[in-house]
Structures are given as structure tokens and as C-alpha cells.
Chain A
């Protein structure tokens, strides 16, 4: 099973690497680049939401902060792209730190709505100050090389995926985060420092998001408060992760691919009905929550997920994994 998974992954990566050499259609490459970017945004969102259990409804703010940081540094401080790019991630991480200090000590409800309010406030700020260009947005120097951006996005997202995979699935860090998600008091009793871990997780989520925002800004060459700081970025990240499956890395990636494919088709054929897209996003979140609370990935690989994580805290710890896998179907309805 594991080997087969690795083979599939290797083929997928190889295909993604070769693709630009075969496909010369700029539109297709553009769609692929953005698709890869959304995978990155979704897995970064899942670090704090799925693994740690703290919903960041203002994920788009960190994307926008990255984009604006690169734009301002390149256009007003004349910094080269490579110098500005890491600073985009740093800016997003710093804002996460500032926003996290008061909110991550509290219950998840505070964090969810505070991050959402933060994203609205940052959008207001970008609309009202001079150096962002206000509602008119900001234009960057164009660097028109679709292959460059495709590979840059692929390397960034691939690297993020690998680092997150190691930290969350192989290192103790992931287990600590999951412990906080399942029972914060219990985690504290085990000697963990939940506030510090949540902060690390939030920064780990914001950093790649800011970098992706920076690449996006240089690639698209035009940013404004509604495209990069609007709520659509956050809303889409939430849909992708909830629909794909929270608390895993493959789930959000799958969700990102499906939702982004849907969005591309929708935009291509039904661009007159953009508001309908918003309705579908909202409905999809509600439907996923009711019918597939573990997401597509969690539902497809249900047995394995159930065996790995007991559903009830009252279950005896010594219960064999096989038993809970057998008992699982009864919990269905």
C-alpha cells in the first residue's frame, strides 16, 4: 500500500516536472501554475486549521500581505525579486505572530473570528493608505516567462509539502499539534506548551502563504485589494481543505485540485454567473460538513484513519486497532 502510494507520487511529480516541456500552450501552463499555487495555499491553511484545530478564516490576508510586501519592496525600494521574496514570507509570519499573541491563548472561536476580522481590517488598510495604491492597486514590472513561474511555483509548493510532511507526519511536532487539537487540557497535562506550539503552527502556516502571495504578485504583475486581500482567497482555502479533508496533507491537495479545476471550468463557461460561484462555494462547505465531515480523503481512506485515531476519548487506549476498524461502520449514522 505504502509502496504503491510512493510510486503514484513519484509518477505525479515526474509528470509535473516534464509537463512544460510537452505543453506549450500558455493558457494551460497558466492554469497549471495557479493550480499548484492553490495546493500550496490549501496545505498551508491546513497546518493551523486541520492539524492544530484552530480555524484561520483570514488566510487570504497572509497571501495578500506577501503579495503587497513584494510589490512595495520591488517597486518602491527597488529590491530585486529574490531579495524581496523571502521578506514577503517574513512579513506574513510577523503579522501572524502579532495576531496570534492575543488570540491563540483563547478558545478557537475567538481565533476564528479574530483572524477573519483581521483580514477585513487589512483590506481596509490597503484601500486607505497611500503606498499600496489604494483601490487602484499596484502594477509590478512584468517578467513574462511562464515556464519560470511554473517551476518556481512547483518548487516552492513541493518544498513546502516536503517540509510540512516531515514536520507533521514524521516528526513529533505533528503529534504535538494533534494532541492540542484533540484535547488541549490533556496536552498541557502531558507537559506541552499549547500556546507556544499553536504560535509555531500559525507561523508555519503563514510563512509559505506569504511567499506564494509574493510569487503570485510578480507573476500576475498586478495586485489590488479585492484580488489579493478579498475574502475569496480565504473562502476558497476553506472550501478546499474542508472538502478535501482536514488534518491531512493529501486531502487539502486533492480538494485544491478539484475545486480549482471546477473554478477554471466555471470561469471559462459560466463567467456571467460569478455570484453563483460564491453560492456554490458556501453550499459546498455546508454540504461537506454535513455529509463528509472528514472530507473526501478522510472518507476514501476511512478505515485507516479510524484505526489511527480513536473517535472517542472514553475508548480504552488498549483497544486493538482492528476492533475500532470493525466498529467504525456502526458510527456511520
Chain B
């Protein structure tokens, strides 16, 4: 069994890399809106199916559609966010509770729509990269690296770097960080919370949808896949510390490792239980994340 360990670690790191993108986008949205989006898994699922059907109709490689899917879902997010904003800035009832309930309702609705449109079957998206793989032999151990996963990691790194640039080097990013720190003060400094929120939500939905296509190429797609990824996104964000972006990559890699180790050594259907057990322990011991820097 030990000879499988390098393979498990490699798979885990390659998969975890992809989760970074979802979790960073998810964390950003939380930072700006202060509400968790329960529909995160559903956005991933919608993106995956969009990629699947575009590939089926045109026969082109799903990777070519990533920009199209991003633009499409950016638009969707941009249009939906004002509704969430309206709920959150309402004076009736408890806006925060209402925001959570609202995204929960959206998630249920999206799941119903997806099941109606796509059925209960699971599929995978064929890509030119799907077949290929190559072997590495470090220290006499053979490790197989599927090309599609490597491409996925490259994509994740690119997205992470772009987001990093956007957040740290642009005025827009300054506004986003200000909103995350203090919404009212940021507003007084001239940050338009409504428009910035729409952009961030659009970016988050777009990235989630794109990542869905990648996950569809690497693993599989199905109308019920959203649940699992919502839990994964939450897992990463809690482990990193809510709102602490620098912790996200480590937490995402850990999730990838847990998943690949369970896939190889244990029963894959116990992955969710392991994820929940780790989550529970972290919340019990260090609720502000692995690094103690969350809010």
C-alpha cells in the first residue's frame, strides 16, 4: 500500500489546486456581502453542464469555452447580486438571516431546475487532455500525472494570480478590501458597495462556473453534484479562517489530500464523513481556522 502514497499525494495536490479558485472566490464574496452563498455548489454544477452541452453541440474542447462561460456567468451573477443586496439592506425582519435564507432558497430552486433539465444521470466532459498522462519517476517511485489535472492546476494558479493582482494592485481591489474591513466606513470613503458587490459576485459566479467545467473534465458531473461542492467550499473557508485569503491555498490542498487518500485507501463514500469530522475538530479547537486569523 505504501507505494500508492506518492500517487495519492500527487492526486491530492493537483485536485486541491482547483479547489483554491472556488474557495478564494467564495471567501471574497463573503468578505464583501458578509453572507455565505449556499448556491456555490449549484453555480459549479451549472457551469459544468454549460461546458458539457457546449462541447456536445460544437464538438470543440471544453477548455476553449472557459472564457465564454466566465462572461456568461459573470453576467448572471451581476444581475442576481442586486436582489441579494436588497435583501441584505432591508429594514424589515433580520437582514442577515434573510440573506442566508435567500441563498438557501436559490440553491434549492437551482437544484430542482437542474434535476428537471438534466436528470439524475452523471456524466463526464470529454476533453483533448482527458486521455493523456505521463509518468514521473522521482527517487525511484513511479507517479502518474494525468494531463488534465496538470492543466487544471495551471488554470488554478493563473486565476489565483489574477485575483491577487486585482485585489492588491488595483483601485477596485482596494475597494473590495475596504468593504471587507468595514462596510459603512468604506462607503464613506467613496466605495460604491452596491456596484463593487455586483462585480465581486459576478466574478465569483464566473469563476465557480469555470471551475465546474474543469471538475467535470477531471471527475464527473451530475445535477446533484452541487451539495458536495458547497460543503467543500465551506470546509476550505473555515479551515483557512473565514475571510483570511492567505490561508485558502493550504486548506484547499488539505481537502484535495483528504479526498485522494480516501479514494485510494478507504471507501470513497466516507470522504464526506471525514471532511465533516475534520471540520468539527477545527471548529472545536480553533474556530478561527488553522492559522487562527479568521474573523
Contacts and interface: CB of A to CB of B under 8 A. Distances in A.
Tell me, yes or no, whether A binds B.
yes
Contact of A276 (B94, B102, B112): B112
Contact of A114 (B93, B107, B279): B279
Interface stretch (A32-40, A167-175, A257-265, A277-285): A277-285
Contacts of B107: 282
A125 interface: yes
Contacts of B79: none
A131 to B, nearest CB: 16
Nearest to B107: A282
B272 A120 contact: yes
B100 A282 contact: no
Given A124-B269, A128-B269, A331-B92, A55 B100 contact: yes
Contacts of A110: 238, 242, 283, 287
A107 to B, nearest CB: 8
A331 B91 contact: yes
Contacts of B91: 311-312, 331
B105 A105 contact: no
B276 interface: yes
Given A238-B101, A246-B93, A282 B111 contact: yes
B97 A108 contact: yes
Given A108-B100, A128-B267, A282-B112, A101 B36 contact: no
A288 to B, nearest CB: 8
Find the residue from A103, A120, A128, A294 having the highest chain B CB count within 10 A: A120
A49 B115 CA distance: 29
Nearest to B267: A128
Contacts of B230: 113
B83 interface: yes
B283 A275 contact: no
Given A120-B231, A124-B272, A283-B109, A109 B98 contact: no
Given A110-B287, A238-B101, A293 B90 contact: yes
B96 interface: yes
Nearest to B30: A109
A53 interface: yes
B234 interface: yes
A181 B279 CA distance: 25
Contacts of B113: 279
A293 B93 contact: yes
A14 interface: no
Nearest to B103: A286
Interface in A144-166: none
A235 B106 CA distance: 11
B244 to A, nearest CB: 14
Contacts of B93: 246, 293-294, 298
A289 interface: yes
Find the residue from A53, A239, A277, A282 having the highest chain B CB count within 10 A: A282
Contacts of A331: 91-92
A128 B273 CA distance: 10
Contact of B287 (A102, A109, A279): A102
Contact of B92 (A103, A112, A293): A293
B112 A281 contact: yes
B63 interface: no
A53 B231 CA distance: 22
B265 interface: no
B35 interface: yes
Contacts of A282: 105-112
Contact of B283 (A106, A112, A127, A277): A106
Find the residue from A102, A246, A331 having the highest chain B CB count within 10 A: A102
B86 A105 contact: no
A277 to B, nearest CB: 8
Find the residue from A114, A125, A281, A311 having the highest chain B CB count within 10 A: A114
A322 interface: no
B94 to A, nearest CB: 6
Nearest to A280: B112
Nearest to A98: B280
A57 interface: yes
A289 B105 contact: yes
Contacts of A293: 87, 90, 92-93, 98
B255 to A, nearest CB: 13
Nearest to A182: B94
Nearest to A235: B108
Given A103-B283, A110-B238, A293-B92, A125 B102 contact: no
Interface in A244-263: 246
Given A120-B231, A293-B92, 7 more contacts: A109-B35, A109-B242, A117-B276, A118-B276, A279-B116, A289-B87, A290-B86
5 contacts: A105-B287, A124-B269, A246-B97, A279-B112, A285-B101
Interface of B: 30, 35-36, 38, 83, 86-87, 90-94, 96-98, 100-102, 104-113, 115-116, 227, 230-231, 234, 238, 242, 267, 269-270, 272-273, 276, 279-280, 283-284, 287
The 5 closest A-B pairs by CB, nearest first: A282-B109, A285-B105, A278-B112, A282-B108, A279-B112
